[in-house]
Amino acid sequence: MRIGNTEIADTFAEAFAMVGARLLITAETAEWALAAGRSVTGFATSIIGCKCEAGIEATMAPDDTPDGRPGVSVLIFAMNEEGLGKRLVERVGQCVMTCPSTACYNGLVADKEVVVGGQLRFFGDKFQIAKLLEGRRMWRVPVMDGEFLVDDRFGIQPAVGGGNFLMLGRDQRSTLAAAGAAVAAMGGTAGAILPFPGGVVRSGSKPSSRYKFLHASTNDAYCPTLRAIAARTDVPDGVGAVLEIVIDGLDLSAVEAAMRRGIHAAAAAGALGISAGNYGGGLGQYQIHLHPLLAGAEEARA
């Protein structure tokens, strides 16, 4: 399969079952809301080392937020419900409550919930006040610029992490251009985020290592500098750089929608080839095959 001059490998992205939550963060200005969003999603690129994966889903106009102020929606993912609950308490407490003028609302209606505000309320040192807002229990925690308003509980739901595709390019500069176009096209996909810096990761990994203390190491099959010495290489002649985009979503359809947009944009921006990372189908619960994924998009446009 080709999109223009871009070769699409006949392979699949292997994704994993995760658990996700959505935060709605508002503030007096869009800048402060974004500051909180950036802080709460920091050091959250990969569960391999960060315990969770997170990103800003979208910016929100005042008309779309619970309190009529500018805001951002944030998605956070972890491997299980207990882990996600801990990360939410840590990050809302340290990164949202600390940010001037913010409030934090649950953004998911779900069957399962974890207590967040109900734990953070203790920071109020018995000065905190419970509040009912349209039937939902919230906490008003006194802070030095007024009060921090936070939902007592946040919904969590099954999610999908680790959807991905690889962009093969002539050199670093042209591959970065293709990656930038892909990230721009994927931005704003409802229910999906790109957890790595700027949406892109250069240090793709494989789930093994020659060092016994490591569970993951560099994906040598896609390292251009190792083409001549690695046991296996998937870097064709003429390719000087490979970059990866990882996608997490609240459901599989969100991940697939983001992948379609990104792959088409990367191809239009001059990527020589598109592939995907997988582990032979033995680790992840989901397989997203590139050819059917893109063929469905082509049929929809026909």
Query: Looking at the structure, do residues 22 and 151 belong to the same domain, yes or no?
Result: yes
Q: Both tokens of residue 101?
A: 């003028």
Query: Looking at the structure, do residues 90 and 204 belong to the same domain, yes or no?
Result: no
Q: Select from 111, 74, 70 the least CA-distant residue to 91.
A: 74
Q: Which of 121, 139, 157 is the last residue of a domain?
A: 157
In angstroms, rounded to a whole number, what is the distance separating the alpha carbons of residues 61 and 275? 36
Runs of H (alpha helix) within 92-136:
117-120
In the block, residue with structure tokens 């709460």: 40
Q: Which of 157, 176, 207 is the last residue of a domain?
A: 157
Contact predicate 247/16, CB 8 Å: no
CATH number of the domain encompassing residue 256: 3.30.70.520
Query: Looking at the structure, do residues 212 and 108 belong to the same domain, yes or no?
Result: no
Query: Looking at the structure, do residues 118 and 175 belong to the same domain, yes or no?
Result: no
Q: Select from 18, 35, 6 the least CA-distant residue to 78.
A: 18
Query: Looking at the structure, do residues 172 and 287 belong to the same domain, yes or no?
Result: yes
In angstroms, rounded to a whole number, what is the distance separating the alpha carbons of residues 142 and 263? 47
Q: Which of 157, 189, 215 is the last residue of a domain?
A: 157
Query: Looking at the structure, do residues 297 and 164 belong to the same domain, yes or no?
Result: yes
Count Cβ atoms below 10 Å from residue 16 Cβ, excluding itself: 17
Query: Looking at the structure, do residues 114 and 189 belong to the same domain, yes or no?
Result: no
Query: Looking at the structure, do residues 221 and 130 belong to the same domain, yes or no?
Result: no
In angstroms, rounded to a whole number, what is the distance separating the alpha carbons of residues 46 and 50? 6
Contact predicate 252/286, CB 8 Å: yes
Backbone angles phi and psi of 78, in degrees to 5: -145, 175
The pLDDT value recorded for residue 266 is 98
Query: Looking at the structure, do residues 91 and 191 belong to the same domain, yes or no?
Result: no
The pLDDT value recorded for residue 296 is 65
Type and span of the H or E element at 289: strand 286-289
Query: Looking at the structure, do residues 170 and 295 belong to the same domain, yes or no?
Result: yes
Number of domains in the chain: 2
pLDDT one digit per residue (tens) for the chain, 302 residues: 999 999 999 999 999 999 999 999 999 999 999 999 999 999 999 999 999 999 999 999 999 999 999 999 999 999 999 999 999 999 999 999 999 999 999 999 999 999 999 999 999 999 999 999 888 899 999 999 999 999 999 999 999 999 999 999 999 999 999 999 999 999 999 999 999 999 999 999 998 999 999 989 999 999 999 999 988 999 999 999 999 999 999 999 999 999 999 999 999 999 999 999 998 888 899 999 999 999 965 433 32
In angstroms, rounded to a whole number, what is the distance separating the alpha carbons of residues 103 and 124? 15
- The per-residue b/e assignment along 26-42, b for 16 or more CB within 10 angstroms, e otherwise, is bbeebebbbbbbebbbe
| Predicted TM-score of the model (pTM) | 0.94
Angle, to 10 degrees, between the axis of helix 252-268 and the axis of helix 172-186?
140
Q: Which domain holds residue 34?
A: 18-157
Q: 28: Cβ–Cβ under 8 A, 6 or more apart, which residues? A: 69, 100, 101
Contact predicate 52/156, CB 8 Å: no
Q: Select from 2, 123, 146 the least CA-distant residue to 67.
A: 146
Query: Looking at the structure, do residues 132 and 179 belong to the same domain, yes or no?
Result: no
Query: Looking at the structure, do residues 226 and 271 belong to the same domain, yes or no?
Result: yes
